[in-house]
């Protein structure tokens, strides 16, 4: 076995968003942060925000090239489409929140179809299919300790009408994620244009 087959990286497949939308999401975060209270929240840096289509976890570096080919084959005929980031909430919808998110109003169904095609491409290479249903969203923060989060939850409810804006979804990215104390560092490994 070559060295390349033994090396692994942490990876995922996602859609990036333009800076103007991320600036609006940063404004939402700034409005919510003062309501954090005692809750321990890990806010996602705006530059790291994206819409995840599939989290792959640890993969062999040797699988990066075949993944890119499989994604191009499966996604190449998909037509670009518009998405609108709007609304905010938390997962799970009931009980103690674990993830704070910004939703996708327009284009959510198309993103779901795109995620299904990504699943098909990855399954063809032996990757396990995701067991949970796909929900298009942008992760705003992860809740580490939800004690005292009620103030933040109420503030999010007041922001239910939040609209970040619209953008074109025309590229899918295969991304390497390196976990670091200061937060993850992402590196684009491959890009797949939607050219249908």
Catalytic residues: 50, 137
The single residue listed with the structure tokens 């940063």 is: 26
HSE, CB side, 13 Å, CA atoms: give it for residue 119.
14
* Distance of alpha carbon 144 from alpha carbon 79, whole angstroms: 38
User: For the purposes of burial, counting CB atoms within 10 Å of the CB of 74, is it exposed (0-12), middle (13-18) or buried (19 or more)?
Assistant: buried
Query: What SS3 class is residue 125?
Result: coil
**82 close to 167: Cβ distance less than 8 angstroms:** yes
Buried b or exposed e, range 144-164, using 16+ CB within 10 angstroms: eebeebeebbebbeeeeebeb
Contacts of 47 (CB under 8 A, 6+ apart): 22
Nearest to 138 by CA among 117, 107, 113: 107
């Amino acid at each position: 076995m070559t060295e390349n087959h033994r090396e692994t990286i942490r990876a995922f497949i996602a859609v990036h968003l333009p800076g103007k939308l991320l600036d609006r999401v940063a404004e939402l975060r700034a409005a919510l942060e003062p309501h954090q209270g005692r809750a321990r929240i890990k806010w996602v840096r705006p530059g790291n925000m994206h819409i995840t289509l599939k989290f792959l976890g640890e993969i062999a570096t040797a699988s990066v090239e075949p993944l890119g080919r499989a994604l191009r084959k499966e996604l190449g005929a998909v037509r670009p489409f518009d998405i609108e980031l709007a609304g905010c909430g938390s997962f799970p919808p009931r009980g103690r929140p674990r993830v704070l998110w910004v939703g996708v109003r327009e284009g959510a169904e198309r993103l779901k179809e795109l995620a299904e095609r990504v699943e098909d491409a990855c399954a063809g290479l032996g990757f396990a299919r995701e067991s949970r249903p796909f929900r298009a969203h942008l992760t705003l923060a992860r809740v580490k300790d939800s004690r005292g989060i009620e103030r933040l939850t109420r503030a999010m409810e007041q922001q239910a009408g939040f609209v970040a804006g619209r953008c074109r979804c025309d590229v899918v990215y295969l991304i390497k994620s390196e976990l670091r104390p200061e937060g993850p560092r992402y590196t684009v490994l491959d890009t797949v244009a939607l050219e249908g």
